[in-house]
Structure 1
Amino acid sequence: MELTYLKTFREVAKSGSYTRAAETLGYAQSSVTTQIQKLEAAYGAVLLERYGRGMKLTLAGETLLQYADEIARLHEESKEVVSKQSKGTLSVGTIETMAAFYLPPYLQAYRKQFPDINVTLQPGNEPYIIEEVKEGSLDVGIILDPPFSDPELHTVVLREEQLVIIAHPDHRFGGLSEVRLEDLENESLILTEDGCTYRAMLLKLLRSGQVGYQLAYEFGNLEAIKQCVIYGLGVALLPRIAVAEAVRQGLVSATPFVHPECRFYTQLIYAKRKWQSAAFKGFVTLLGEGEATA
């Protein structure tokens, strides 16, 4: 039985007239009559009877009206709860840099807007995040990449992230305004883990430019990389956002790495087929508007 029939029944009961109910609902009077007849057939009882020029509820009609009012109330409540998605989980896949240095203030603001939504952060590298978003295991991905596109995904570019070469404060790079590819000749490099997009970019450029270097260390943890640089064990390529505090404290120097292929952006991705709840839209909007006003 359709909710529409119960809505029509409630309106006839309220107005006491098929004609007035039809005018209010925007139906032909014959349509109202048909819907009431179908309700009566479904319940096996007469719900309305003519009384003078109007219609009056029978005892069965009065009983049904109580249920119809409650059904209508529950229906409206369900629409409000579902549309707001006031409870639930939002899964976000991101790399360590974004989880530690970019997302926290946005997560704080999001919690104020959607206090009953539990946000889970799933760390991983870009290929993993992209695949999990496509599969639907993650609602949203935050990646750091050159401009990214995929036919299955929506991509929202949030901002450009500057990549810098960090070094011990006494290193010669501290006196440069920028570091170019050739400046890395014979340097000891401390690299991020395999699968990191800016690591892959750097190694590709070094190979194609035939620039010799030494692989000093390789870590999957940004703090370990920074500590090795602080102790003078090599230099590293990292997003400026990840080393801002260490630079402020004078623990490392940070010099922009300049190359035409070194343009990386923080980007939000989600599946084109994904159903977008109010909570999901709120998260996407918050990040997009936050960068627009930054």
Structure 2
Amino acid sequence: MSVIKNFEVVNAYNMDLTYFLTFREVAYHQSFTKAAGELGYAQSSVTMQIQKLEQLYGVKLFERYGRGLKLTMSGEELLKMTVQMLDLFEQSKGALTRQAGGTVTIGTIDSLASYYLPPFIEQIRKQYPALTIRVQTDREAAIVEKVREGEYDIGLLLENKPSDNQLKWMRIREEPLIMVSAAHPLTATSVLHLDRLHDQEWLMSESTCNYRMMLERVLVDEQIPYRIALELGNPEAIKRCLKAGMGIALLPRMAVIDELERGELVELPFTHSDIRLDLYVVLHPKKWISHALRTFIDSIQ
């Protein structure tokens, strides 16, 4: 095969699907100008793509018809095959996306795993039935470390600010932190000031929990003495003890929304600017994002 023929074969195989998309738009609008506007291209780019298709096939695809264009017989034949080819391409993308397998590993904290993630996981499983999803609960600092090391594909965290600037952080929303109790004299207060928390009995999450650390920092800074009645490892245990009539607790609203609606727990009228958290997705900036992982991230955003 000659050098020229080799060059022609390479060009044919390198022909981008974009050229056929452009050809279909020109045929539909019967105008280079309208097709360029629809596609967001310069008209010269549209003209160049059609010329390259004509050079590839060795035929004229359009001819002038008054002020517009119309397809030649060769153009009409190519349009039929182009429509089929582009439809088949879209079908192939959809089929491979639906059948995408593999594993997505999500590092998160107990409250998000229990109260936030389940509907999103159900949604992604319907779209990607072959996908394996692993949800690993851990401490906030450990999650950030394992995202950095690539052990977790993404992390889902409650933080007041990004803790590692080398990672990519996407803020989803503010997640309210609220004080709750079952039957406590403070629930009758219209506005709860810090001084009313003097010597209160608390049910606390583990010492590494970031919203516990926020609360204790505020109490110490304001010189408000407090007592820890129980230290418990997860929100469910804290809620059970609260419903048994023990003390007060600080928890994410998502963790207690059902109990509040049923009247089993009551929100205390307290807010503080230094006690707030945002919901973040964190991932490594060089992490390859699969179709399934992109769909999951988009759904929670």
Tell me the TM-score normalised to structure 2 length: 0.68
Among 107, 127, 148, the residue aligned to 2:121: 107
Q: Compute the displacement of 1:80 (Å).
A: 8.4
The 5 Å alignment of 1:135-174 reads 135-169=149-183, 171-174=184-187
**Percentage of pairs with the same residue:** 34
Q: Compute the displacement of 1:150 (Å).
A: 2.5
Alpha-carbon separation, structure 2, partners of 1:250 and 1:83: 44
Q: Which runs of 5+ in 1 are unaligned?
A: 13-19, 27-76, 289-294
Distance 1:158 1:25, change over 3 A: farther
| Corresponding residue of 2:260 | 247
Contact 2:111 2:234 in 1 (8 A): no
Per-residue Cα deviation, 1:229-271 (whole angstroms, up to 9, x for no partner): 1122211100111011112222221125311111211111111
| Corresponding residue of 2:25 | none
| Corresponding residue of 1:214 | 227
Q: Compute the displacement of 1:140 (Å).
A: 0.8
Runs of 4+ in 1 over 6 A off after TM superposition: 77-85
Matched, 1:264 2:265: no
Alpha-carbon separation, structure 2, partners of 1:179 and 1:25: 79
Which deviates more, 233-242 or 172-181? 172-181
Distance 1:263 1:145, change over 3 A: same
Q: Which runs of 5+ in 2 are unaligned?
A: 1-5, 14-51, 59-90
| Corresponding residue of 2:9 | 8
Per-residue Cα deviation, 1:81-130 (whole angstroms, up to 9, x for no partner): 88778010000011111111111111111112222211110001211111
| Corresponding residue of 1:35 | none
Distance 1:267 1:22, change over 3 A: same
Count of residue correspondences: 227
Question: What one-letter code is carried by the residue in structure 1 that aligns with 2:127?
Answer: Q
Matched, 1:204 2:204: no
Distance 1:178 1:101, change over 3 A: farther
Alpha-carbon separation, structure 2, partners of 1:107 and 1:256: 33
Q: Compute the displacement of 1:10 (Å).
A: 11
Distance 1:256 1:10, change over 3 A: same
The 5 Å alignment of 1:1-294 reads 8=9, 23-24=55-56, 86-169=100-183, 171-288=184-301
Q: Compute the displacement of 1:22 (Å).
A: 10
**Which secondary structure does the structure 2 equivalent of 1:246 belong to?**
helix
Distance 1:83 1:265, change over 3 A: same
Contact 2:124 2:292 in 1 (8 A): no
Per-residue Cα deviation, 1:133-170 (whole angstroms, up to 9, x for no partner): 1111000111011132532211111111111111123x
Tell me the TM-score normalised to structure 1 length: 0.69
Contact 1:93 1:122 in 2 (8 A): yes
Alpha-carbon separation, structure 2, partners of 1:198 and 1:10: 60
Distance 1:7 1:263, change over 3 A: farther
Distance 1:111 1:279, change over 3 A: same
